């Protein structure tokens, strides 16, 4: 790593100082999703789906719901409390899941259920995350319909071109473009605040929305139907989970300061300004955000809004790359090719498979729904379920790990639970109108993740069942040792204590044994970064045979040769890269009826295993130093 390289751990340490630069950078990356919500939240609340009219009490009641949703869900729940539940500085539902599992007995049913809950939440969150680029960019470009109604039929083609460009550009990395993300988003929030303040002066009556009585009055007036409006209110808080997910990149303090003192005031000024505009001119209901922009500024604001939504889309895409790498490390999805797009920042990666899958899904949504109004019906249900799961996991962590704070955190969890259930019920009413899409996508992803995890367990069971114990094999081998050839052989094994199939094949076909032989196992810890003193464990077992275990955290990109060179040199064992050959087995999985999983899941796992990237490439083992041997395994 170069002297100027910065790891997420470095940024967290710097984040403790909460410098202005870190706050601006956090604003550019973290708040893109929630920061573009004013483009469509109020517009959707008064859409035909909910049947509301922009009367005085309805407008103020709706704004009160938006204000208190932002305060309760984002400010108190995520920014103030859940950010305390960091896993070695990292956040997100998968980090929270591993933290909650650590409070339970290893291998217990409770640990298993928490794992199921966390993976299901991550799958649902990904399903709603697919909608973010589509609805954000659509909402921004739909401003053309306000300034030039004749351009209506150009909205979807322009959105398709913009989003295609975003996905195609991923291969080049975001290091250079990322430097302007912060200033652009700072300008965006300033514009939101200024527009809101200008419109607010026309009808300061809307400031009453800060009083929670108006939210209660809204429910009292609209009775049971009032609950369903929460399906639109939730649009204002989508992106709240992203604040917690991105905590590891900047640290909690810069994100908190950016939210408390800049982003939250700007958002609320804009929402209040849109409400004031509706009280003054109910006809602005067609697009209250753009009708609140002076005519001379609409074209520049459309351009700025499009840039802001592109940044929000970029944050979703890079977040998907990060979460996918975590899932690979934790063994929930097959290995995929990972490309590093920066020599300076280790966290900037590009995963082609995830990128193109996202592009197909996002463009499919744009072409299928055609407008932000139609797409809003599909938005919210999955993120509501994810927020509910976050609350349950938070309660587990607080009960076990926060003896002082749990007396006030656990009662608040009950309040959060009621709010999350309200959002979930409200969005459940949109299932038939499009809400089915993120749910189905989440269920499909969950099935794939669980099938891969369970299939790997069955595969290792079969390998162990048919394998030979290393401790009994080596003494017999050395009674009549084969010819020893110069060099070091590193055999990658997933099951410690078993004879690698690659070693058996090498002895059978080549009838030679290297001077030095290493049985290497790679482990992934449930912490983001492996401590230096736990990186490598070496155990000599005689006759120049060694057991070596290399450990990585779930946020790290495994580089086995580099880890061996650095750690083994410190332990008195030198690895010459030009004198070391890596041997690996690649199993060909065949589905059979053995009772481990239903037959269709066995076949699904076999397909996933066949298309997974080789472990050797994932561990960054050079191809010119690799010998790969195959074996057939039935599950």
Average pLDDT (378-382) is 85
Per the structure, the count of domains in the chain is: 2
Q: What is the DSSP letter of 435?
A: I
In a domain, 461, yes or no: no
Q: What is the pLDDT of residue 327?
A: 83
Q: What is the DSSP letter of 52?
A: -
Q: Is there a single domain that holds both residue 404 and residue 484?
A: no
Q: Is there a single domain that holds both residue 416 and residue 488?
A: no
Question: What does the angle CA 35 – CA 67 – CA 44 come to, to the nearest 5 degrees?
Answer: 65
- As given in the structure block, the two tokens for residue 228 are 């369903």
- Phi (first) and psi of residue 468, to 5 degrees: -120, 135
Q: What is the pLDDT of residue 347?
A: 55
In a domain, 463, yes or no: no
Q: Is there a single domain that holds both residue 237 and residue 357?
A: yes
pLDDT tens-digit readout, 127-179: 777 888 999 999 999 999 888 888 888 999 999 999 999 898 888 765 555 56
Grouping H, G, I as helix, E, B as strand and the rest as coil, residue 207 is helix
pLDDT tens-digit readout, 583-603: 888 777 887 776 678 888 888
Q: What is the pLDDT of residue 445?
A: 92
Average pLDDT (470-485) is 86
Q: What is the pLDDT of residue 17?
A: 44
Domain boundary among 452, 478, 498: 452
How far apart, in whole angstroms, are the C-alpha atoms of residue 322 and residue 526? 16
Q: What is the pLDDT of residue 16?
A: 42
Q: Is there a single domain that holds both residue 148 and residue 102?
A: yes
Farthest-apart Cα atoms in the chain, separation = 95
> How far is CA 374 from each of CA 43, 275, 362, 464, rounded to the nearest angstrom?
12, 22, 14, 53
Grouping H, G, I as helix, E, B as strand and the rest as coil, residue 303 is helix
Asked if pLDDT for residue 15 goes beyond 60, the answer is no
Strand partners for 549: 521, 537
Lowest-confidence segment of 170-179, 381-390, 423-432, 553-562 by average pLDDT: 170-179
Q: What is the DSSP letter of 87?
A: B
Q: Which residue has the higher pLDDT, 107 or 379?
A: 379
Q: Which residue has the higher pLDDT, 173 or 107?
A: 107
Q: Is there a single domain that holds both residue 349 and residue 381?
A: yes
- 317's CB contacts (< 8 A; 6+ apart) are 133, 166, 167, 170, 355, 358
In a domain, 185, yes or no: yes
CA proximity to 577, closest of 512, 621, 515: 621
Q: What is the pLDDT of residue 585?
A: 80
Q: What is the pLDDT of residue 566?
A: 75
Q: Is there a single domain that holds both residue 52 and residue 170?
A: yes
Domain boundary among 424, 452, 480: 452
In a domain, 409, yes or no: yes
In a domain, 12, yes or no: no
Task: Name the E strands within 284-392.
Answer: 339-340, 349-350
Asked if pLDDT for residue 632 goes beyond 80, the answer is no
pLDDT tens-digit readout, 49-98: 888 899 999 999 999 999 999 999 999 999 999 998 887 777 888 888 88
In a domain, 457, yes or no: no
Of the pLDDT bands very low, low, confident and very high (cuts 50, 70, 90), residue 356 is very high
- 622's CB contacts (< 8 A; 6+ apart) are 561, 577
pLDDT tens-digit readout, 537-561: 888 888 889 899 999 887 787 888 8
Average pLDDT (427-446) is 88
Asked if pLDDT for residue 309 goes beyond 70, the answer is yes
The answer to whether 574 and 568 have CB atoms below 8 angstroms apart is: yes
Q: What is the pLDDT of residue 387?
A: 92
Q: Is there a single domain that holds both residue 395 and residue 484?
A: no
Please report which helix (H) or strand (E) contains residue 550, including its range: strand 545-552
Q: Is there a single domain that holds both residue 276 and residue 370?
A: yes
The answer to whether 243 and 30 have CB atoms below 8 angstroms apart is: yes
Of the pLDDT bands very low, low, confident and very high (cuts 50, 70, 90), residue 496 is confident
The answer to whether 94 and 115 have CB atoms below 8 angstroms apart is: no
Q: Which residues span the domain enclosing 50?
A: 20-452
Domain boundary among 417, 452, 487: 452
β-strands 536-542, 545-552: how paired? antiparallel
Q: Is there a single domain that holds both residue 475 and residue 339?
A: no
Q: Is there a single domain that holds both residue 155 and residue 250?
A: yes
Q: Is there a single domain that holds both residue 87 and residue 173?
A: yes
Q: Which residue has the higher pLDDT, 528 or 71?
A: 71
Q: Is there a single domain that holds both residue 537 and residue 421?
A: no
- As given in the structure block, the two tokens for residue 451 are 């099938």
Report percent pLDDT > 70 for the chain.
93
Q: Which residue's structure tokens are 């100027």? A: 4
Q: What is the pLDDT of residue 476?
A: 86
In a domain, 462, yes or no: no
CATH code at position 268: 1.20.1740.10
Asked if pLDDT for residue 376 goes beyond 90, the answer is no
Q: What is the pLDDT of residue 575?
A: 77
How far apart, in whole angstroms, are the C-alpha atoms of residue 192 and residue 268? 9
Of the pLDDT bands very low, low, confident and very high (cuts 50, 70, 90), residue 9 is very low
In a domain, 109, yes or no: yes
Asked if pLDDT for residue 464 goes beyond 90, the answer is no
Q: What is the DSSP letter of 480?
A: S
Q: What is the pLDDT of residue 234?
A: 92
Chain-wide mean pLDDT for the chain? Answer: 85
> How far is CA 99 from each of CA 91, 529, 532, 557, rounded to the nearest angstrom?
10, 14, 21, 21
């Amino acid at each position: 790593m170069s002297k100027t390289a910065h790891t997420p751990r470095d940024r967290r340490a710097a984040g403790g100082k909460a410098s202005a630069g870190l706050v601006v950078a956090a604003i550019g990356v973290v708040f893109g999703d929630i920061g573009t919500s004013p483009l469509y939240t109020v517009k959707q609340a008064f859409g035909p789906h909910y049947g509301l009219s922009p009367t005085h009490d309805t407008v103020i009641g709706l704004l009160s719901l938006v204000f208190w949703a932002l305060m309760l869900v984002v400010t108190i729940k995520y920014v103030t409390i859940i950010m305390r539940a960091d896993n070695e500085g990292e956040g997100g539902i998968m980090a929270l899941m591993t933290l909650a599992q650590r409070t339970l007995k290893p291998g217990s049913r409770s640990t298993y259920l928490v794992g199921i809950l966390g993976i299901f939440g991550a799958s649902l969150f990904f399903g709603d995350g697919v909608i973010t680029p589509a609805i954000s960019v659509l909402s921004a470009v739909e401003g053309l319909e306000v300034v030039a109604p004749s351009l209506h039929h150009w909205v979807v083609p322009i959105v398709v071109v913009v989003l295609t460009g975003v996905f195609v550009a991923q291969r080049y990395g975001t290091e250079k473009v990322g430097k302007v993300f912060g200033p652009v988003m700072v300008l965006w929030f300033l514009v939101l605040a200024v527009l809101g303040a200008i419109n607010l002066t026309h009808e300061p009556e809307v400031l009453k929305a800060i009083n929670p009585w108006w939210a209660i009055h809204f429910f009292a007036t609209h009775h049971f139907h009032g609950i369903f409006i929460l399906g639109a209110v939730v649009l204002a808080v989508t992106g709240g989970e992203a604040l917690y997910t991105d905590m590891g990149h900047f640290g909690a303090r810069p994100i908190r300061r950016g939210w408390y003192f800049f982003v939250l005031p700007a958002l609320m000024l804009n929402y209040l300004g849109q409400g004031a505009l509706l009280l003054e001119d109910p006809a602005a209901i067609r697009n209250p955000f753009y009708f609140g922009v002076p005519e001379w500024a609409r074209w520049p604001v459309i351009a700025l809004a499009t840039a802001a939504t592109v940044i929000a889309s970029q944050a979703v895409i890079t977040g998907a790359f990060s979460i996918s790498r975590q899932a690979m490390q934790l063994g929930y999805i097959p290995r995929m090719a990972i490309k590093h797009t920066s020599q300076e920042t280790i966290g900037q990666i590009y995963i082609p498979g995830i990128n193109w899958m996202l592009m197909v899904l996002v463009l499919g949504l744009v072409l299928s729904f055609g407008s932000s109004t139609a797409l809003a019906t599909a938005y919210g249900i999955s993120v509501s379920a994810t927020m509910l799961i976050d609350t349950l996991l938070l309660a587990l962590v607080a009960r076990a790990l926060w003896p002082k704070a749990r007396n006030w955190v656990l009662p608040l969890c009950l309040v959060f639970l009621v709010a999350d259930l309200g959002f979930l019920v409200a969005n459940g009413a949109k299932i038939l109108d499009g809400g089915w899409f993120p749910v189905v996508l989440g269920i499909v992803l969950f099935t794939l993740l669980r099938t891969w995890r369970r299939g790997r367990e069955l595969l290792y069971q079969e390998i162990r069942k048919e394998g030979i114990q290393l401790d009994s094999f080596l003494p017999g081998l050395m009674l009549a040792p084969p010819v020893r050839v110069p060099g070091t052989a590193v055999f990658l094994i997933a099951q410690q204590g078993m004879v690698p199939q690659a070693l058996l094949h090498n002895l059978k076909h080549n009838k030679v044994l290297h001077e030095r032989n290493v049985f290497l196992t790679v482990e992934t810890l449930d912490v983001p970064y492996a401590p230096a003193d736990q990186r490598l464990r070496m155990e000599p077992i005689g006759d120049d045979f060694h057991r070596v275990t290399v450990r990585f955290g779930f946020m790290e990109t495994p580089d086995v040769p580099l880890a061996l060179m650095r750690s083994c040199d410190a332990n008195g064992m030198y690895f010459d890269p030009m004198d070391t050959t890596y041997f690996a087995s690649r199993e060909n999985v065949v589905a059979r009826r053995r009772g481990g999983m239903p037959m269709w899941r066995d076949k699904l796992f076999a397909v996933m295993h066949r298309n997974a990237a080789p472990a050797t490439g994932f561990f960054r083992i050079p191809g010119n130093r690799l010998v790969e041997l195959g074996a057939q395994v039935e599950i």
